Structure 1
């Protein structure tokens, strides 16, 4: 059974084969990737993965990662972890926001949820040019954990009012499984 967990983060200059090399090392150690995010930001490859395995498999993986780091010029960090133990009943909600590209949007959104003690579980942003006009646009996708005791209708109303004030087009809805 894979009940030991390791988080691996890797960052380095992007080039073909990085995902193959990293996942091969994980597989050869007998470990399994449970969750991961891998992307290119600017000219840099960035990856973070939650890897499961028996303690000896994770130890083997940890000893082989420095070689990968040297060979591929990556900065690799690892940290042992445990399964998440979220306090109380939490309801996952998806938040989608689109607006003109402007500084501070992520901070304003995180502050809105933070003040209400709503944790952000996942966050992804992107910039793009609007069709036809080429206007710089900004998109935010996040998953938040809403305490079950919270009045969802009130939260939704407050959130949409908040977004209207900032001229953000937004949707908040229960996350789909």
Structure 2
């Protein structure tokens, strides 16, 4: 049995500025999500005897910990080409160094932080991830064409 419940908070603030009729600039900042999670997991042993007797025993292990996700910042630009479509692009910065899971008397965060480091990005050396997205849409008569590209760079500092 495992059950996780939690609550948290994060915020996102964004602006769009219309420079000219065909050009718009935008920016957003996303705070880390600050989460408090309550995990309960348990184990049960059931034994049945030939004579009809049953033995059941179980234990639950509750723990509470805090999780902080990375902060993000992004900026973008869109160029509108009259009635024919648009080209848009944005760059996103993700600060993985701020990711954290707290420890307490019943929970040691080392194992979970190790999993995060191995499965997302190398947090021990990573400063940030930079993402670039481009999207274009062209419309003429009954024909609409769309293209999208995503590039991702990991900015890291080598270990001494």
Considering Cα pairs closer than 8 Å and 6+ residues apart, tell me whether 1 or 2 has the greater RCO. Answer: 1
For the aligned pair, the TM-score class normalised by the smaller chain equals under 0.3
Which has the larger Rg? 2
Structure showing the higher helix proportion among its residues: 1
Structure showing the higher strand proportion among its residues: 2
